[in-house]
Amino acid sequence: MTTQELIQVPSGLKGVAVAETELGAVRGSEGFYHYREYNAAELARRASVSDVWHLLVEGSLPTTEQAARFERQIGDHRAVGIKPAIIDAVAAATSVPHLGLMALLPLVAPDGIPTIDLSPRERREAATRLAAAVPTLLAATHRRRLGLDVIAPDPTLGHAADWLRMVLGYEIDPAKARMVETYLTATIDHGFNASTFATRVVTSTGADAAAALCAGIGALSGPLHGGAPSLALSMIEEIGDPGNTDAWVRAKLDAGQKIMGFGHAVYRADDPRSLLMREVAEGHGGPLVERAVEIEARILAVMRSWKPDAVIVTNVEYYAGIVLHLAGLTPDLFTSTFTVSRAIGWSAHLIEQADNNKILRPSARYVGAPPAS
């Protein structure tokens, strides 16, 4: 294809469909997103992580018998056979858990068989095994970095409760486990975001499942994608009294800085995940939640007066940070918790891409100095 034949697309591929999917979609103008044929926010209110996981990788919500079998399978897969000395070495050599995860995840399935050489059922097994190992590896890396003992997974617990238990080191109040389960379920998948696209690009090369998931982890590590919940919580703490909000926000806007937790690349109506997380936070209650609600209203008022023609909404990160904090997680674990969730979505996209694969190989338009002829 010559330079003249290249298709001009928007910067960042915004609005460009690069693949077809049956897993779900985001309808930003309506403030709606779905997993397959189900309203995703409604599923998050009532379903477990494993139920939605089954929906995405198997194509349907499970029956009672299927749900029990699938949850046992996930629980068994949370056990990893990596030697403690290796985990210790990785934890000592990496500054944040997701870097350790990228080093350790390929060791869960060290054969490294390309997805192109696996049967559909084998690909499902490989993707599910790796996604299930993510919380175990993140928790182990986090605890060893702090000099704490590793907590072995408990296959009898749900995915959210076991993640909290492994990372915090104690049995979790069911109400707090449910708060995190709602968050995990609500954030499993969300259209063709950067990490999902990265996972599918690597899958399209026929690479092994761990390589594809590590691509997603790398993309999610960027603060513009996976790090905002901790930044939004820090913002609330920095503002302090809600009466300080207007001056604080205007100073940031004058300096050309982003207000974390506000605005979204897709939504032009309320982000349903934000509404859900606010609902969860208000269900818990307390001074922090009350302060956050008032600060949110003031921030929106300032930003809308600043850009009256722009559609500005609160995104999921604003209340997600509060929910995770209330559940007992520290800000350095927020991106890891997002990774526990999103790894499930990546695994489903990996399976879908590999089942009907065509390598994703776009072009770039050269705009540098003319080459010598």
For the annotated catalytic residues, the residue numbers are 264, 317
Amino acid identity of residue 30, one-letter, is: E
Residue 208 backbone dihedrals phi, psi, to 5 degrees: -70, 160
Task: Measure the CA–CA gap between 197 and 274, rounded to whole angstroms.
Answer: 23
DSSP per residue, 141-191: HHHHHTTPPPPPP-TTS-HHHHHHHHHHSSPPPHHHHHHHHHHHHHTS--S
Sign of CA dihedral 3, 4, 5, 9: positive
Tokens representing 111 are 């054969």
32's enclosing H/E stretch is strand 32-35
Task: Measure the CA–CA gap between 157 and 72, rounded to whole angstroms.
Answer: 9
Spatial strand order of the sheet with 24-27 comes to: 24-27, 32-35, 38-39
CA 349 to centroid of chain Cα atoms: 13
Q: Which residue has the tokens 């950067």?
A: 194
CA angle 74, 77, 79 (to 5 degrees): 130
Task: Measure the CA–CA gap between 50 and 29, rounded to whole angstroms.
Answer: 29
**Do the bridges between strand 24-27 and strand 32-35 make them parallel or antiparallel, or are there none, so unpaired?**
antiparallel
Tokens representing 16 are 């460009």
